[in-house]
Amino acid sequence: MIIIEVKEGERIDKAIKRYRRKHRRIGLRKELQRRKFYTKPSEARRNEILDAIYRNEKEMTEEI
């Protein structure tokens, strides 16, 4: 659970902004999505390789 201390005299929108930033930084949403389904280690490795290939091809096209 993420806890944000609201400081004395702090506006609520600033506190909400700090909460969202902290939520993004710890990667809570990605972790929940990852734990939703079990992925076999071989499948995870294959996805990593495919992502790397995609990023590499995208980088090469941007250079041209």
pLDDT at res. 26: 86
Model pTM score = 0.48
Average pLDDT of each block of 10 consecutive residues along the chain (64 residues)?
A: 86 91 86 89 96 94 80
For the chain, the DSSP string reads ----PPPTT--HHHHHHHHHHHHHHHTHHHHHHHHHS---HHHHHHHHHHHHHHHHHHHHHHH-
Enter the tokens of residue 29. Answer: 């949403």
The tally of CA atoms less than 13 A away on the side-chain side of residue 21 is 7
pLDDT at res. 31: 85
